[in-house]
Amino acid sequence: MIDVAELGVSDAQRKMAGGEVTSHELTQAYLDRIRAIDRQGPALNSVIELNPDALQDADRLDAERTAGKLRGPLHGIPVLLKDNIDVVGMVNSAGSLALADNRPQQDAFLVARLRAAGAVLLGKTNLSEWANFRGKHSTSGWSSRGGQTRNAYVLDRNPCGSSSGTGAAIAASLATVGVGTETNGSILCPAAVNGLVGLKPTVGLVSRRGIIPISASQDTAGPMGRTVADVAALLAVLVAADDSDPASTQAKSHAAPDYTAFLNPGALAGKRIGLVRQALGFNADVDAAMERAVATMTTAGAIVIDVKVDGYRDWEAPEMVVLLYEFKDGLNAYLKAARAKPGSLADLIAWNQDHRDTVMPWFGQEFFEMAQAKGTLKDAAYREARAKARKSAGEAGLFATLDANRVDVLMVPSASPAWMTDLLLGDPRGGGSGAAMAAIAGTPSITVPMGESHGLPLGLALMGAAYSEAQLIGLAYAFEQASHARKPPQYFATLPGTATEPKADGAH
C-alpha cells in the first residue's frame, strides 16, 4: 500500500506517470488514512464529509491517463475543500446544522476549475462555524455540524480558524493539498499553527462565486499545502477570471500561467524586506524565531530592515463595521440564490434560537444580531467605514510602508503558537498577526513555517502589493529551502515536556 504521508503533488504525479500507483490507489490510501487518523487514533475530526464519488472520479481519471489524456499537474490528485464551498453531490453548511440540508445544484467556480484540471474532490473539511462570524466567544475549529477539530501537532491545542479542518487535515496528510478561505487570517492562522504553507490571494484573483460569504471586500479562497511547491501548483488551477465575480475582472491581466515557474531557491538575493516590529513582542518564542528567520534571509542575500507602519491597527474598528454590513448583504444573497432554508440572516437567527441547545451550547450569535441590525450597503456609515478601513490598512498602511522604505515585501509573524482549546471561554484575545493589513487592503499574503515553540509550529508571513503572488511564492520558497523549518506532526496528546505526552493510538 502506498504511503501518502508527506507526499507532494510532483511526487504523486511522478509515481502515477511511472505506473507505481493509480489515482484510485492514491485516493483509497487517503480514505484509509482519514479512517485511521481523523476518525480513530488521534481523532483530528477535520473532515466533515467524504465525497461518495471520489473513487469513481479517480477511476475515470486513471482511464484518461491510460488513454494519453492528461489535464495538468493536478490530474488524479486528491484535494480537500472547506465546508463553505459549493460542491455538487455534497452539503455546503458553513459548519451549521441550520444548513445541513443545503445541497448545491451547481459547483462553485473554483470547484469547476478543479474538476476540469483533473483533481479528485476527496471531501469537505470542518471549519469554525460560519467562518468564526457568529458569536463573540467562539472557539476556532468548532461547528455544530462537525464538532471540534484538533491541532495535528498537539491534540489538546487549537487548530485556529476558520479554515481549521483544512489546516489539520493537510498537516496530517489526509489529502495532497487543500482549499481554505479567508476574510482576515482564516488561511494564514490555521496554516501557521498546523505547520503548513498557506496563501491568501489578492481579492478577486480566485473567484468567490459559490462560496458562503462574509465580506465582499475581503473574502477569498486560497491554497494550503505542506510545501510552497504544492501551494503554487494548486494556485495555478484556482486562479481564473470570472465575469460573475465583480472583483475578478482584473484577474485576466494579472494571473500568472504557472506559479510553479517562480519556485526559485535564489529568490531572496538582493530583495529588500521590511520587518514590522510592531507585530512582535507578544511571545518570546515567536520573537526568537523571527530573529532566526531574519538571519536566514540575510545569509540568503536579502536585505532586512526595520519598518514602522503609521496608524498600526487603526483599521480594526472600521473593518468590523464593514464586515457586519457586508455579511448581512452577502449572506442574504447567497441563501436566496441557493433557495436554502433558513432563507435569510433573520431566519437563521430565529432558527438558532429555536435550536440553541444544539447549535449554541458554548457561545451565542452576537455578530449575527449586530449584522441584522445594520442597514444596506448604501448607508453612509458603511461607505465611510469601508473607505477608512481600506485607507488605513492599504494606502496609509501597507502601500505607504512599502513605498517609503523601498522594500519589496513586509514581514510579520503569522500567528501566536496554538493555544489550548477551551469551549467554555472560547479563543483567547491578544497576540496575532500584522497580516491583517493585507486582508483588509485586499492584497496577497503567504505564510511559511519558520520554527516551533515547544513542538507547536510557528509561521512567518510575507505581504506584498496587489497581484504579487508570484513574488511571494518565490521568496517563501527560497526561505523554505534555506530553513527547512517544517517538521511533520507527531500527534502528541498534550504539550511535549508536560506531565504526559503520549502519541494517540493509530498516529503514524
Q: CA 254 to CA 204: how far, in whole Å?
A: 11
Cell of 388: 477608512
Exposed/middle/buried for residue 225 (C-beta within 10 Å: 0-12, 13-18, 19+): buried
State how far the Cα of 502 lies from the Cα of 506, in Å rounded to an integer. Answer: 12
Cell numbers 452577502: residue:
330
CA 295 to CA 219: how far, in whole Å? 34
163: annotated active-site residue: no
Q: Note if 252 is an active site residue.
A: no
Rounded distance between C-alpha atoms, residue 425 and residue 33, angstroms: 32
Q: Which residue has the cell 470570472?
A: 242
In angstroms, the CA 287 to CA 13 distance is 38
- 44 contacts 152 by C-beta, under 8 angstroms: yes
Q: Looking at 82, 124, 200, 388, which residue is catalytic?
A: 82
Rounded to 5 degrees, φ, ψ at 200 are: -100, 110
Name residue, grid cell 522594500.
407
Catalytic residue among 46, 143, 163, 186: 186
Instruction: Mark whether 217 is an active-site residue.
Output: no
Rg (CA), the chain: 21
Sheet holding 445-453, edge to edge: 47-50, 120-125, 78-82, 177-182, 220-225, 197-200, 445-453, 456-463, 409-413, 272-276, 303-307
Choosing from 140, 162, 163, 217, which is the catalytic residue? 162
For the chain, helix (H) and strand (E) counts, in that order, are: 17, 13
Q: What positions carry a catalytic annotation?
A: 82, 162, 186
